[in-house]
Amino acid sequence: MPVHIMAALGGALIVVLLLIIFLLRRREVGTDKTVFEKVEKAHEKDRLGQLVKQREDSFLNIVYGLAAAMVVADGQVKQNEIDKAEKLGARLIPNFDNQAFLKVVSGHKQLPRFNDMIDAVAPLLPLEAKAEIFDYLQAIATSDGQISPDERHYIHHAEVKFGLDKLNR
């Protein structure tokens, strides 16, 4: 099989897995557990459970990294930006861990560049996930009442790479 076909199939598989993870994370009406949490419990010891858990951890780390980069974009770590990131992060991702997020913020100098993280994740996410992450990042950037030039650049880059600029026209 040609390499480009194998690469396309591999990319498609990753997109499908991320979409499944995203959809399973939504909470069912009338329950306090997400579908993802129920599936995770049922498969916690088998190969599928391990694969799903690895993908979830990767996605969570990307969200932590993007949010941390937005918090420190203006060169300052402001408590209202941290609070907003934690509050909305918990809504976006059920197992968002404030302590793990704060570790990423404190080690932000070791993070990849914001634009590189966006470029890497953009092709893998469904449009709905892109819109939710974009709104999350924009809320962090505006939580202190002002948007720095770097925050504005990050927001614009995410909007373009996620294809959301084309939806607003």
Instruction: Name which residue leads in pLDDT, 99 or 32.
Output: 99
Distance CA 42, CA 62 (A): 25
Half-sphere exposure of 36 (CA within 13 A, CB side): 20
**Model confidence at 5: pLDDT above 90:** no
Distance CA 117, CA 111 (A): 9
The DSSP call for residue 110 is G
Distance CA 155, CA 165 (A): 11
Residue 93: pLDDT band (50, 70, 90) is: confident
pLDDT for res 28: 47
Domain count, the chain: 1
Q: What is the pLDDT of residues 13-48, one digit of tens each?
A: 566 555 566 555 555 455 565 554 555 565 556 554
Is 125 within 8 Å of 18 (Cβ atoms)?
yes
Half-sphere exposure of 147 (CA within 13 A, CB side): 13
pLDDT for res 42: 58
The range of the structural domain enclosing residue 71 comes to 3-167
What is the domain-level CATH number for residue 94? 1.10.3680.10
Q: What is the pTM assigned to this prediction?
A: 0.67
